[in-house]
Structure 1
């Protein structure tokens, strides 16, 4: 068995154990918390276990939409984890569902997944975008919590490219950073509205509600869209990815030192934190892939000319990271 297959197998075993543990714990505490308003309700009209539905919602005076995947093992009496997944620029909620594979039963049969749709297929935080997607997210979260039996300590965020950048917007938001447990941006575009651009030292504005935000980023060394080395783009500044990660480690009051862990061919995890905070912040860096959602199977990213499949799958790593980082409320 190759090293990368061993890593993948260990992630799968950990996920299976986590699902069993979460189910057992939840089964002992079925709707004890009256704040879990969606528990005990039947699924909304037209929705079925194991299927995805398109939902419309009013937000900030606009009619907007999102996809919601109800896992085959969803039980309306057991609090369930939720993942919000944001598409990249010029992509859609449907394309993100196909890309991230979070609805693939190989990876997930127990978690609800929400795919918001951006106005003009992009997100707040991208230069020139004025849509209030933070409010949109808050409105979706409130609706999801009212319709499904949601574990409020296990609501997570991921996304690709502009959607990855919006993960960072949410992690830096003084309100929603206290509602979401952990964040996993992929090939993220972390724009800063300042020029000239000194990518290694640019100040990264951020006002999180806490100093223990788990964040695991993924980036390719051959990304020619959002360069690993940062730089000016769309008349704003992109930080280098190492600078971006080091700033998150500092916000979480972690040591600037990190541990390098091999993940697969050409791929390492830079892990920050020690003791109980080990891995609170991390970066998975693949030196040879481009602006992609890392996958060993063909997908819409790695089949573009000049791209190729990665030597690892980001999806089970993200699920494993989320599994070990629930929201801790003191």
Structure 2
């Protein structure tokens, strides 16, 4: 086993280019290719793509340090309901060089500014995401062990849809939903005990959620909304801990004023699942500087920044070598 691990750790780019995948593309197929026409390091481009017979688009941020011969981490960031890909780019600060200079960030645009999983939405956004990933891996030098997803509100809820998908949960390394709307199609609604369907393809899915105690849009304690049920956030995150075999107990750690982190797992699994909770912020992307969320009347800046915590979480939780090899073969 040790010899196999060492050998797997030292794949050359040439070897990776020749490695087959279960999808029509090859792993690292984009390595060695020049950036698409009109794109440059540090820039953002609007890219159209056809998915399920419909022309759609996403924004792609190429990090300043991008090198076509070095596999690059990839983050997909999904906008909230009624907002756009550009809104999300301006909100999450993942393109801010203060926080990120190494990860490519992609902002998919939802049809009617919505996402699969929202009540009444019938678009196949899991397929859309799959199409985007296939295209990105063909165009750019993407590290298949470091593909992660975040999002806000409905976009955060869609992150959970991806994490529970039997295929993409194995292709994507980690998930960090912010102010998530985790709709469950069942009534009557019992937020603290409602069954949360999930068909994740593995039992070690890293999940770090963020939520405010004063969120009146997607309440921390759940509610019936849009004729479906929103679980309490503690119930939602505890279910992920149980799903990952971490048990129901957690460690509470102060993070900032009025802010704590609930961490599940022990030993090497410490922090595989967690929740960052600030008691007095609303339906916001937590930031210590003004943004489109916290400048709304009745809202205020947070006591911590979610973005660097998300980036650190993604960096700390790649797919394991064996999980990556399973997807590549």
Normalising by structure 2, what TM-score? 0.91
SS of structure 1 residue aligned to 2:234? helix
User: Does structure 1 residue 131 correspond to structure 2 residue 123?
Assistant: yes
Distance 2:253 2:114 in 1: 33
SS of structure 2 residue aligned to 1:33? helix
Taking only aligned residues, the RMSD between alpha carbons, in angstroms, comes to 1.3
Distance 1:103 1:31, change over 3 A: farther
Distance 2:79 2:175 in 1: 14
Q: Which 5+ residue runs of structure 1 have no aligned equivalent?
A: 1-25
Distance 1:271 1:31, change over 3 A: farther
Distance 2:295 2:12 in 1: 45
Report Cα offsets for 1:250-300 as digits up to 9, x if no partner.
000112110001110000000000001000000000000000000000000
Report Cα offsets for 1:47-85 as digits up to 9, x if no partner.
111000000000001000000000110000000000000
User: Does structure 1 residue 325 correspond to structure 2 residue 317?
Assistant: yes
Distance 1:177 1:31 in 2: 27
State how 1:73-112 maps to structure 2 within 5 Å.
Answer: 73-112=65-104
SS of structure 2 residue aligned to 1:110? coil
Shift of 1:149: 0.3
Distance 2:78 2:163 in 1: 14
User: Does structure 1 residue 217 correspond to structure 2 residue 209?
Assistant: yes
Task: State the partner residue of 2:161.
Answer: 169
User: Does structure 1 residue 183 correspond to structure 2 residue 183?
Assistant: no
Out of 46, 56, 59, the position equivalent to 1:64 is 56
Distance 2:169 2:137 in 1: 17
- Cα contact 1:191–1:236 (8 A) shared by 2: yes
Shift of 1:36: 0.8
Shift of 1:32: 3.3
Normalising by structure 1, what TM-score? 0.91
Distance 1:48 1:221, change over 3 A: same
User: Does structure 1 residue 51 correspond to structure 2 residue 43?
Assistant: yes
User: Does structure 1 residue 286 correspond to structure 2 residue 278?
Assistant: yes
Report Cα offsets for 1:164-198 as digits up to 9, x if no partner.
00000000001100100000000000000000000
| Count of residue correspondences | 306
Shift of 1:29: 4.1
Task: State the partner residue of 2:195.
Answer: 203
Task: State the partner residue of 1:156.
Answer: 148
Out of 288, 291, 304, the position equivalent to 1:299 is 291
SS of structure 2 residue aligned to 1:243? helix
Distance 2:255 2:72 in 1: 29
